[in-house]
Amino acid sequence: MPNLQGIRRRIRSVKNMRQITKAMKLVSASKLARAQSRITAARPYSVKLREMLSNLASRAGEYQHPLMEVRGDEHYLVVLITSDKGLCGAFNTYLLKTALQFVKDNPNKKIEFLCIGRKARDFVRRRNISIVNEYVGLVSKTINYTEGSKIGEEIIKLFTEEVEGNSRPDKVFILYNEFKSAIQQNQVFNQILPLASLNQGEVDYKLAASATDYIYEQPPADILSRLLPHYVETQIFTALLDSVAAEHGARMSAMDSASKNATEVINKLTLGMNRVRQAAITREIIEVVSGAAAL
Amino acid sequence: MAKLKLEIITPERVLLSQEVTEVQIPTLNGEVGILPGHTSLISQLAVAGILKYKDEGKERIAVVGSGFVEVFADKVTILSSLAEKPEDINIESARRELEAAERTLKSAEKDLDVNVTDALAKVERATVRVQAAQNK
């Protein structure tokens, strides 16, 4: 039979835990509100940029850009965005699973990772997969556009510049959690480079067709060549914002259910404790009564 | 009187979205004045410049730079990663930035590692910011 004091101690420790998870939930909720407003504020830019891109692409004709260069299919670079901290439920788990599956599915390819977030780095490093660069501590603070676009620039550089004795990645992918709502995250696994030939996929034909005839102050190809790198950078930046918002959402719901579970455990323990206490009292009464009867 | 909808969008937020009667935009090819009913136009913004817009006779300004502009008859959209409102600029720090940028540019004469184009862009941008902060 468990002793009373032991149960009391456990109840106390679970209560402490619940306090912490509750506090974390509240913190995440307020961080989520901020992250959410940032991602919603950032969306118009990428939407507009894409619109302009479609427009231009339909006018630029047969246009080639280093970022659109289709090479072999040997060397992949995966940009993996996770959180720095844990305690956010399955937020990282599924991403990392997908990443690992991707590596397993392509045994003959050279796959490298660019890790953003401590969890991504630790995971990839533990499995001895090569890392081209890592950003730890970035997603924990407020990300401004300059930081986001720097990573974008780095990826563009990796993709376009030839380095002696080292192959360039033929394809670049991005893997992260997209923010859907406070309780829903969507895993996104997209190819970002080379940019799909602009005359398919990326171009929204309806938009392009409805476009008015523009005056171009510079040749369309010129504008396009500036727009494309910018587009890649913006994609990385919004992915970062998305991931941060999703992380706080995931942590909030994880901590919410943790608090609920703690309450449940406390209730069970309290019930058990009362039972033990009652048994002890009953036993004592029996002892007293039988003692009196013996007299 | 016909009006234009002016939108200045940065990667982080929509900086400005309002009805105006006239806009002057610094593009790579020089200043462009836009009135309602303008032909559709796409252009690149200058490295840094001051955008002027008029609303009910009052002229206001904003700093823009290295981005794109799209004009329709009733709408002007500016995409700029460096856009700022003058009231958001701290003139002291803007001045310091300008000095630092000028120093970098000077050092470019001796130091071959310094990228002159970048340094020039920084100086230009800092100059524009100081100007805007003074004129607010």
**Where does the pLDDT of residue B1 fall: very low under 50, low under 70, confident under 90, or very high at 90 and above?**
low
Among B42, B77, B81, whose Cβ lies nearest the Cβ of A223? B42
Please give the pLDDT value at position A200. Answer: 46
- Measured between CA atoms, how close is B122 to chain A, in angstroms? 14
φ, ψ dihedrals at A79, nearest 5°? -95, 115
> Which whole number is the average pLDDT over A159-185?
85
**If you average pLDDT over every residue of chain A, what do you get?**
86
For A218-229, letters b (16+ CB in 10 Å) and e give: bebbebbbebbb
Name the CATH topology of A26-253: Pyruvate Kinase; Chain: A, domain 1 (3.40.1380)
Contact assessment for residue A116 and residue A151, using Cβ atoms and an 8 Å cutoff: yes
Q: What is the value of ipTM here, to two decimals?
A: 0.82
> Which whole number is the average pLDDT over A256-275?
94
What number of H helices and E strands is found in chain B? 2, 9
Please give the pLDDT value at position A289. Answer: 94
Look up A115 and say whether it is catalytic: no
Instruction: Say which residue the tokens 């455990």 belong to.
Output: A265
> A112: buried, middle or exposed (CB in 10 Å: 19+, 13-18, 0-12)?
middle
- List, as one string, the DSSP characters of A268-287: HHHHHHHHHHHHHHHHHHHH
Among B9, B11, B41, whose Cβ lies nearest the Cβ of A217? B41
Contact at CB, B43 and A218, closer than 8 angstroms: yes
- Measured between CA atoms, how close is B20 to chain A, in angstroms? 20
Q: Could you state, in order of their start, the residue ranges of all structural domains in chain A?
A: 4-23+254-288, 26-253
CB proximity B115 to A under 8 Å: no
Provide the CB-side half-sphere exposure for B74 (13 A, CA): 3
Query: Any idea what DSSP says for residue A202?
Result: S
Provide the CB-side half-sphere exposure for A270 (13 A, CA): 9
Highest mean pLDDT among A169-183, A187-201, B92-106: A169-183
**Where does the pLDDT of residue A201 fall: very low under 50, low under 70, confident under 90, or very high at 90 and above?**
very low
- CA torsion A274-A276-A282-A287 (nearest 10°) is -150
> Which whole number is the average pLDDT over A96-124?
91
Count interface pairs A-B at CB distance under 8 A: 72
Best mutation target among B27, B29, B32, B42 (most A Cβ atoms within 10 Å) is B42
Q: What DSSP element (H or E) covers B80?
A: strand B75-80
Q: What is the pLDDT of residues B58-105, one digit of tens each?
A: 888 888 888 899 888 888 999 998 888 888 888 888 888 888 888 888
Q: What is the pLDDT of residues A57-100, one digit of tens each?
A: 777 666 777 888 888 788 899 999 999 988 888 899 999 999 99
Q: What is the pLDDT of residues B16-38, one digit of tens each?
A: 898 998 899 998 888 888 898 88
> Residue A203 and residue B83: Cα distance in Å, rounded?
27
φ, ψ dihedrals at A142, nearest 5°? -75, 125
Q: Which of A56, A88, A95, A250 is catalytic?
A: A88
- Pick from B45, B36, B50: which is nearest to B69 by CA? B45
Q: What is the pLDDT of residues A27-46, one digit of tens each?
A: 999 999 999 999 999 989 98
- Measured between CA atoms, how close is B82 to chain A, in angstroms? 10
Please give the pLDDT value at position A227. Answer: 86
Contact assessment for residue A111 and residue A172, using Cβ atoms and an 8 Å cutoff: no
CB proximity B38 to A under 8 Å: no
Q: How many residues does chain B have?
A: 136
Please give the pLDDT value at position A131. Answer: 87
CATH of domain A4-23+254-288: 1.10.287.80
> Which whole number is the average pLDDT over A128-157?
86
